[in-house]
Amino acid sequence: MTRFGLKLSASLVALALVAGGPAAAAEEVEVLHWWTSGGEAAALNVLKEDLESKGVGWQDMPVAGGGGEQAMTVLRARVTAGNAPTAVQMLGFDIQDWAQEGALADLNELAASENWDTVVPAALQRFAKHDGKWISAPVNVHSTNWVWANKKIFDELGIAQPNTWDELVAALTKIQDAGYVAVAHGGQAWQDATIFDAVVMSVGGPDFYKAAFIDLDPDALGGAQMTEAFQRMETLRGFVDENFSGRDWNLASAMVIEGKAGLQFMGDWAKGEFLKAGLTPDQDFLCFRFPGTDGTVTFNSDQFAMFSVGTERRDAQVKLASSIMAPSFQSAFNVVKGSVPARTDVSDADFDACGKKGMKQLAAANDAGKLFGSMAHGHAAPASVKNAIYDVVTAHFNGEFDAATAAEELVNAVDAAQ
């Protein structure tokens, strides 16, 4: 990922009224989300303040939890009770699952009037549309195969940006030997899987990644390259501190920010934490792709799925969706959030060095056919498969079995989940 909380409901409410102006002051939206960390809250305020300045009422419904699992539990209870929020932060296949249940609203009229088909990449439309109907408004694109490094530590130890696996291991060894934590990591299943995403891509490249996580090919899931990926995870486990279990991702980011750790493997939402701490890209911290994945981008996209609501809430919902998709908001929000716009026609003028890099790399990967939905963040396979992979990856990372056994378990787990 990235992180929707209940706060977002208020923000989206405000956003819905943006399009309506002062006359829409009586309108309101309720938004369920899990954006509760410092950097995420700062980004959310961009949306909230924008909406409130235009008289849109905002009911905030934040549910803490970096991967959004808790938010989805709350959502299920709300929908079962017949009281769905106006909009819900959602990722990937979760959007499609709700669409299949007939729970989401039709945004086609708005999308046609604003030409969403021409400005939103096809890889995002895969999740924002169902049976040809727009059902959600993508707010950003997060890419997940990033490394965030403390530049002072790198400079102190004379470490250059690693571009290969061997160079990465050498850098981590040097950092650890100098008395720092080499890899800041939080022992949560989605964080383990975020690293595994990048490791698998680094081992076998795009074709292997697609075969394993999108096509779910048993030969790829259980073959020699997957065993090598698990072996690399074992190596990385040796560079994580002993207190990693259960640590939230933003606390791992803080370890890098405070100079306690050399680097973190995390999606670009982490950048928001560095910016909130007053740090500057290329001066205080470094951002680069996981070694071995250059030219390829794995992504997730935070989208606001619009639930079917009564006529009295429909106008506010449409205004909310329109405001989310406005180029000015896409720029202002993503500058703060750390992600890049979900539209291809937004200027990078206001983005920092990492943002400009991310936008350029995303466009290049899209053009080259090397833009892939992230397994770890629900954009490669349905939730049942994703969760099965989580179980194996985390069990292995915690030492329950060796690499060869993990590859065998992966085949079995994915087969059972389908």
Residue pLDDT, tens place only, 69-106? 899 999 999 999 999 999 999 989 999 999 999 999 99
- Whole-model pTM: value is 0.84
Residues 56 and 182 in one domain: no
pLDDT tier at 361, thresholds 50, 70, 90: very high
Residues 161 and 240 in one domain: yes
184 belongs to a structural domain: yes
Q: Are strands 181-183 and 146-150 parallel, antiparallel or unpaired?
A: unpaired
Residues 276 and 250 in one domain: yes
396 belongs to a structural domain: yes
**Predicted pLDDT of residue 1:** 44
369 belongs to a structural domain: no
Residues 234 and 380 in one domain: yes
Residues 292 and 320 in one domain: no
364 belongs to a structural domain: no
Amino acid found at 371: L
Residues 107 and 172 in one domain: no
Residues 93 and 209 in one domain: no
Q: Based on the structure, what is the number of domains in the chain?
A: 2
269 belongs to a structural domain: yes
Q: How far apart are CA 240 and CA 245, in angstroms?
A: 10
Residues 184 and 65 in one domain: no
Residue pLDDT, tens place only, 284-298? 999 999 999 999 999
Residues 189 and 268 in one domain: yes
Three-state SS annotation for the chain: CCCECCHHHHHHHHHHHHCCCHHHCCCEEEEEEECCCHHHHHHHHHHHHHHHCCCCEEEEEECCCCCCHHHHHHHHHHHHCCCCCCEEEECHHHHHHHHHCCCECCCHHHHHHCCHHHHCCHHHHHHHEECCEECEEECCEEECCEEEEEHHHHHHCCCCCCCCHHHHHHHHHHHHHCCCEEECCCECHHHHHHHHHHHHHHHHHHHHHHHHHHCCCHHHHHCHHHHHHHHHHHHHHCCECCCCECCCHHHHHHHHHCCCEEEEECCCCHHHHHHHCCCCECCCEEEEECCCCCCCEEEECCEEEEECCCHHHHHHHHHHHHHHHCHHHHHHHHHHHCCECCCCCCCCCCCCHHHHHHHHHHHHHHHCCCEEECCCCCCCCCHHHHHHHHHHHHHHHCCCCCHHHHHHHHHHHHHHHC
Q: How far apart are CA 2 and CA 249, in angstroms?
A: 10
Q: How far apart are CA 121 and CA 105, in angstroms?
A: 21
CATH of the domain at 344: 3.40.190.10
Question: What average pLDDT does this structure show over 3-11?
Answer: 39
Q: Which domain holds residue 214?
A: 146-298+374-417
Residues 236 and 384 in one domain: yes
Residues 101 and 152 in one domain: no
Residue pLDDT, tens place only, 209-230? 999 999 999 999 999 999 999 9
Residues 35 and 135 in one domain: yes
Residue pLDDT, tens place only, 155-184? 999 999 999 999 999 999 999 999 999 999
Residue pLDDT, tens place only, 15-50? 333 333 333 345 888 999 998 888 788 887 787 787
**Predicted pLDDT of residue 66:** 67
Question: What average pLDDT does this structure show over 101-128?
Answer: 95
231 belongs to a structural domain: yes
Look at residue 9 and tell me whether its pLDDT is greater than 60.
no
362 belongs to a structural domain: no
